[in-house]
Every structure is written in structure tokens, then in C-alpha cells.
Amino acid sequence: MLEDMLAKGTKEKQDEEVRFASFSTFCDNTKKSKDKSISKAKADIEQLSADIQMAESDAHEAGLAIADLDKNIGIWETDKSEATEIRKKEHADFETTHKDYEESISAVERAMAVIKAGPAGQVNLAQTSLLELSSLKRIPAKARRLITSFLQQGSEPMSALMQDAQEMVAAPEAAAFESSSGGVIKMIEELGEKFGDEKDTLEKEESEARHSYDMTAQQLTDQIEAATREKKSKLSTKAKREADKAGAEGDKSDTTAALNEDEKYLSDLTATCEQKAADFAKRQELRQGELDAINKAIEIMSSDAVSGSGDKHLPGLVQKSTSLAQLRSQTTSPAQRAVATFLSDAAKRSNSRILSLISLKVTEDPFKKVTKMIKDMIIKLTEEATEEAEHKGFCDTELTTNKQTRDYKTEEATKLKAEIEKLTADIAQGAIDISDLGSQIAEIDAAISKATEERQAEKAKNQATIADAKAGQQAVAEATTVLKEFYDKAATATALVQAEGGSSQSPMPETFDEPYTGMAGGGVLGMLEVCQSDFARLDADTSAAEDAAANEYGEFMSDSQVDKATKEATLKHKQGKKTRNESALATANKDLVSVNEELDAALAYYEKLKPSCVDAGESYEERVARRKAEIESLGEALKILSGDDI
């Protein structure tokens, strides 16, 4: 029974060693895997935090720039609106004042025309004209008093005034009318000249004010359009960087959650593994103590002291000993022969060389020697069974641990090779993407440079064309004015000459029948009008083309800058990813070398275990069964020798 307990305890101890070896391998492999995952997650979180900070900074800077642009746009739009309102008011004032001057000049001209027309039925009309003239608000007070005083004198002074005006027309050198008119005609003519000069001054000031407004409005419009384009670009950049920040924050949140879960799992696993290791050590110590106690008990029970006590206190044994002593005189006792036959049959059944050898020894050796030999053989076989059980436990533990190590390292090597292939492919693709993005950014820069160069040349050409068109319009207008004045004067002069031809002087030689009006009828003024119209159309078309080209260039620059900013951000991201992949590739290659070395060591150790643990010829179960049969047969043999079966 003690031997059965020894065998059972040994087997349970070995089974426990095998199970704990498997558990220990699981702990080690899982800890390595989790440590690696935690390190990678921390590195990813650090990178994502940097990406979030950078994206937030970029978005903040874009927001500040947008706020400044909005502020400037608001100021410029307010300035433009105020300038427009001021210009409208100035122009309205100009229209009102200009209308007053035109009415005043018209009144002066009507008054002079009526006065110079003659007295026949025109006195009342002349008085009405002078009365209308005196009611104008732009008539100076002195002139109004003079006209009013003159009108109060009645119709005779008015008739005299009109007579003096006619004489003045007939003989401009005469000035007798002044005494009778009291200087009214001269005063009216001076008023006409004064109103004309003031009107010209007013028109000149209006032209200058309009030009100043146009320049200011155009400058403000250009500033607003440029700021609007830049704002559009900044809005695009801000939206993209905010999207980048949101994506990085989501990734960071997921990675942090996974990191916390891995750290908690690793902490729990470490505590469990340490507790299990402590428990295993205590159990193994206890089991070994139990086996040592059982071995000691077997040793005591098998000693001569126990056997002697049995002989002393168990009379049956003494009687059998006496009987056996009486049989010693024979060469071979019947019990020995019976044992020899039993062991020989058992040797044949179990194919045991040991039982066959002992069956021969039983017939040859003395009885006492045979008994001791059988007992010694039982002890030896029991010790061999214990040693082999311990070796079996060692083999099971080592083979299980070695297989788990080989499987884990093989799987880890496969994963690392797959990771290396993927990282290599990602790095190659990243290099292609980076090169393509670099080329695209260079193309955008080249396109911007070319477009800017062409825009500057086009703008310079358009400005020169507009300047030429305006200069042409001015020159044609001046030429038209000069020719018109000339032809008007020429027609008047010719008419006067014709009128003088009917006087009492000597007849003028016949030269022409009609008044000479110059070459105006030949279409020169019409041609000039066409030229002026062409210059005006050229000015308008070129200005419109310039505005369209400027807007198109602005849109192109805005779109190009947004596209470039997007590509530069993508390029930066891909460069960072490529760098991280290269670092990960170097780490994976290093890990693969280490894993392959560990796998080679595990394979070499397996080859070392095979001769004694795998390729032993007869299986462990067969050896245990055979040895058990041998021990049981030897035990039966002892019983036969002691007469227990009788």
C-alpha cells in the first residue's frame, strides 16, 4: 500500500509540474505580448498628443487670422460705404448747384437776347426777363438792387436800354449806352461771365472729387477682395486642422482605453501568476516531503527489525520457519520448485527477462538467499519505477514547455515576418506617395509662379492699354473741341463777309456762292467721334478684361494655396508615418532575429530530449505495466515461499 501511495504521489507531483510549466509559459508569453502592446500604445498616444497639439495650434492661428481679416474687411467695407455716401451727397449737391448755374446762365442769356432784340413790342418782355433775373438766388445783392432800381424807373429807361443795346451791336466801339442804361447791360454780361467761370470751377471740382472717390473705392475693393480670398484659404485650413484634431483625439481615446485595459489585464495577470507560483512552490515542497516520508516508511517496514519482530510476536511465522528449516536438507524444496514454475510462467506471459532469470536462480540458490534475492529485486524494481516516474515527469514537463515555446516562437516569427512584409510594403508605398506629393507641390509652386508672372505681364499690358485708351479719348476730345470751335468761328466769319458784300463798297470779285463752313461736312468730326467711341470701348473692354483676369487669378491663387496647404499637411503626415514605420521595421527585424535565436535554441533542446524522452523504443506505459507485472509476480513468489498460498 505504501508503494502504491508512493507511485500515486510521484505521478501527481509530475502531473502538477507539467501543468504548472504550461501555465508558467503562458504567463511569460502573455506578459511579453502585453508589454509590447503597452509600449506601442504609449508611443502612439505620445505621437497623437503631439498631433492634437499641433492641429489645435494651427487651427487657433487660422482663427486669429480670420478674426483679423474679418475686422479689416469690416473696416474697409465701412470706409467704402461711408465714402460712397459722402460721394452721393457731394454729387447731389453738385447736381443742385450745377442746375442753379445753368438756370442762372440761361436767364442771363435770355435777358440779353430780349434786350438786344429791339424795342418793338419787347419792353414788357425785357422787364419780365430782368425781373426773372433779379429773382435768381445766385444774383449778388448789389446787382439785384441795381436791376430792381432800374425796373422801378418805368418803360422809358427800358426802351432806352434796348436802343443802346442795338447801337452797341451795330457799333461796338460806341459806349454811349452806359449813360442811359446805368451800366445794366455790362452788369448782366459780367454776371454771365461770372456764372460761367463758377460753373467751370464747379465741374472741375466734381471731376476731381469723382476721380478721388473712384481711386479710393477701387483700392478698398481690392483690399476687401484680397482679404476675402485669404479668409477663404484660412477657413479651409482651420476646418481641415480641426478635423485632423478630432480624428487624432478619437484615435487617442481608443488607444488610451486599450492601454488602460492592457495595463489592468497585465496587473491582474502578474498578480495571479505570482500567487500561482508561490502556491506551486509550497505544494511541490509538501508533495516532496510526503514522498520522502513514504520512502522512509517503506524502508522501515522492509528492515530486519520489523521482520524480527514479526518472527518474535507471530508464532505462525516461527512454525513456518521451522518447517522450512526442516526442508533445507533437501536440494530444492517444493516451495522453491513451485516459485520457479510460477516465475517461469509469469516470465513467459510478460516476456520478462528478469522473471526468467530469477526463476532459474530460485532452483539453484538456498531458500533464504532466494527470499532475499526476490525482496532485493522488488526493491530495485520499485526504485527503478520511481526513478522512471520522476524521469517521465521531467520529460513531460520539458517536452510540454519546449513544445509550447516552439509553437509560440514559430507563431511569433510568422507574425513578425508578416509585419515586416507589411511595413516594407507600407514604407515603399509611403516613399512613392511622398515623392508624388512633393512633385505635386512643386507643380503647384511652378503653376503659381507662372500664373503670377503671366498676371503681372497681363496687368501691365492692360494698364498700358487703358492708359493709351484714356489718353486717346482725351486727345480726340481735345481735337474735336478745337475743330468744332474752328468750324463755328469759320462759319460765323464767312457769314459776316457775305453780309458786308452788299455794302456800298466796290464789288467783291466773285469767289463763292455759299458761306464757307470748312471741311466739317467732309466727315472729319464724325471720324473723330468714331475714334473716340473706339477708344472708349477699348477702355471699357480692357478694364472689364482686367477685372475678370484679376478675379480669375485671385480664385486660382486661393484654390492653389488651399490645395498646396492640404498636400503639405498630407506630406507631413505621410513623412511622420514613414518614419514610424521605418522605426517599427527596425524593431521587428531585431525582434525576428531574437525570436529565431530562441526558436533555434528550443529546437536544439528538443533534439537533446528526444533520445531519452521520445525515442526510447518501448513506451513508458508498456514499461510501467511490465515492471508492475514483475513486482506483482515477485510478490506472489514471496507468498509462495512463505507458504501464504498454502
Other C-beta atoms closer than 10 Å to the C-beta of 376 total 12
Q: Residue 309: inside a domain, yes or no?
A: no
Per-residue pLDDT at 317 exceeds 60: no
* pLDDT for 524: 61
How many CA within 13 A on the CB side of residue 436? 8
Q: Residue 487: inside a domain, yes or no?
A: yes
For residues 262 and 55, the answer to whether their CB atoms sit within 8 Å is no
**Domain range for 479:** 390-497+517-615
Q: Residue 549: inside a domain, yes or no?
A: yes
* Average pLDDT value for residue range 420-432: 93
* pLDDT for 502: 45
Q: Residue 636: inside a domain, yes or no?
A: no
59/339 Cα distance (integer angstroms): 102
Per-residue pLDDT at 580 exceeds 60: yes
Q: Residue 544: inside a domain, yes or no?
A: yes
* Average pLDDT value for residue range 17-35: 85
Which of the residue ranges 320-324, 516-520, 584-588 has the most confident prediction, judged by mean pLDDT? 584-588
* pLDDT for 165: 65
Q: Residue 48: inside a domain, yes or no?
A: no
Please list, residue by residue across 71-109, b when 16 or more beta carbons sit within 10 angstroms of its beta carbon and e when fewer do. ebbeebeebbeeeeeebeeeeeebeebeebbeebbebbe
* pLDDT for 78: 94
- Considering only 153-167, 195-209, 222-236, which range has the smallest mean pLDDT? 153-167
Query: How confident is the model over 532-556, as pLDDT tens digits?
Result: 788 888 889 999 988 998 998 898 8
- Total domains in the fold of the chain: 1
Per-residue pLDDT at 510 exceeds 70: no
* pLDDT for 151: 74
Per-residue pLDDT at 313 exceeds 50: no
Per-residue pLDDT at 645 exceeds 70: no
* Average pLDDT value for residue range 115-141: 73
Higher pLDDT, 127 or 399: 399
301/554 Cα distance (integer angstroms): 110
Which of the residue ranges 106-120, 326-340, 415-429 has the most confident prediction, judged by mean pLDDT? 415-429
Q: What is the pLDDT of the chain when averaged over all its residues?
A: 78
Per-residue pLDDT at 200 exceeds 90: yes
**Four-CA torsion 443, 446, 451, 452, nearest 10 degrees:** 140
Higher pLDDT, 592 or 498: 592
Higher pLDDT, 590 or 624: 590
Per-residue pLDDT at 55 exceeds 70: yes
Per-residue pLDDT at 157 exceeds 80: no
* pLDDT for 318: 36
Q: Residue 256: inside a domain, yes or no?
A: no
Higher pLDDT, 542 or 330: 542
Higher pLDDT, 64 or 361: 64
DSSP 82-120: HHHHHHHHHHHHHHHHHHHHHHHHHHHHHHHHHHHH-ST
316 — pLDDT class (breaks 50, 70, 90): very low
* Average pLDDT value for residue range 41-47: 92
Q: Residue 457: inside a domain, yes or no?
A: yes
Provide long-range contacts, Cβ within 8 A and 24+ apart, for 113-118: 115/161, 115/162, 115/165, 115/185, 115/188, 116/162, 116/165, 116/166, 116/169, 117/162, 118/162, 118/166
Per-residue pLDDT at 379 exceeds 70: yes
* Average pLDDT value for residue range 506-515: 43
* Average pLDDT value for residue range 477-489: 75
Q: Residue length, the chain?
A: 646
500 — pLDDT class (breaks 50, 70, 90): very low
In the structure, how many helices (H) and strands (E) does the chain have? 13, 0
308 — pLDDT class (breaks 50, 70, 90): very low
* Average pLDDT value for residue range 61-68: 94
- Considering only 346-355, 459-468, 585-594, which range has the smallest mean pLDDT? 346-355
Provide long-range contacts, Cβ within 8 A and 24+ apart, for 567-571: 567/437, 567/440, 567/441, 567/444, 568/441, 569/240, 569/241, 569/244, 570/437, 571/434, 571/437, 571/438, 571/441
* pLDDT for 306: 41
* Average pLDDT value for residue range 566-574: 89
Q: What cell numbers appear for 621 in the block?
A: 506505459
* pLDDT for 57: 94
Q: 527: domain CATH number?
A: 1.10.287
Higher pLDDT, 205 or 121: 205
